[in-house]
Amino acid sequence: MTNDTPSGDRIAKTLSRAGIASRREAERMIAEGRVTVNGKTIDSPALNVTAADRITVDGKLVGEPDPPRIWLYHKPAGLVTTERDEKDRPTVFGALPEIMPRVMSIGRLDLNSEGLLLLTNDGGVKRKLELPATGWLRRYRVRINGSVSEAKLDQLRAGIVVDGIKYQPMIVTFDRQQGANAWLTVSIREGKNREIRRTMEAIGVTVNRLIRVSYGPFQLGDLKQGEVEELKQRVVRDQLGISGKPTPTRVRKPVNRPSTGKNRHR
C-alpha cells in the first residue's frame, strides 16, 4: 500500500463504512493522529486502503464493514438531530438504545418536529437517500394555527419564493378544521431547511405541530415515539439496488431517552 496506489477506497470512506465515524469525523480523527494503517500513524485522509490493510482507531482494530443497514426511528419533539449540541440539548443519538451501533441520520428533523427519521450505518446510503435527485416524497401531517384558504395553498402548490429561496411545488391537502387549528397533509421532495414552517409563514399561518409520516417508501406506521425498528435486509437491498444473500432482521427497540444532550461514543 502506498499513497499513489489507486486501488481500494479512501481511508475516511472505509472508516465510515465500518461504522466508526462519518467521513468528516474520520478526517478529524486522522488529523488528531488517532488512526494507524499497518502500524503507522497517518496524518492525511489522502490515502487508499484495501481489505489487506490493518487499520486501528484509538488502538482498536477496525473490522470488516457491516452491510448497509437502515432503521426507522420515531423522533419525539424536543430532540436535536445532531451528534453534539453546543447548547447541551438532548439529541436523537443520545436517546437511542445502548445496543444500537453507530448510526447517521438520513436528513434531519428540527427540534420541534417529530415523526419518521431514517438512520443508517453507511455514509454512502445517507448521501444517496438525501439527494433531491433520488426524488423520494416526504409526507407530513401539519397542524397550523388558524385557517387558510385554498387560494393561499395554491401558492404552495405552484412553488413559492421566500426570502430569495425558491421552494418547489408541494402537494397540499386541507384535511380538517379543529377548533383554533387546522390540519393539512403536505408532501415535498427537496426537504430544504425548515421548508414547511417557512413557506407556511409566508402565506400567513404558523405551524404548531409537524409530524413526518413517510420518507419515500418507508412509513411511520404504528411505531411509537422513541421506538426504533430495523428494516429487513431484503427491503434495504431492494430499495438500494444491492445484491447479496438475504439476512432478514427486524428488531424494535424501546424508548431510552437521556437527561442531557451529551452523547456516548459509538
- So which residues are the catalytic ones? 110
Which residues fall within 8 angstroms of residue 229, CB to CB, at 6 or more apart?
Answer: 71, 72, 73, 223, 250, 251, 252, 253
Give the closest residue to 79 by CA, choosing from 70, 88, 66: 88
* Under 8 Å between Cβ of 220 and 213: yes
Largest CA distance in the chain: 68
* Under 8 Å between Cβ of 21 and 60: no
33 torsion bin: left (phi>0), alpha (psi -120 to 50), beta (else): left
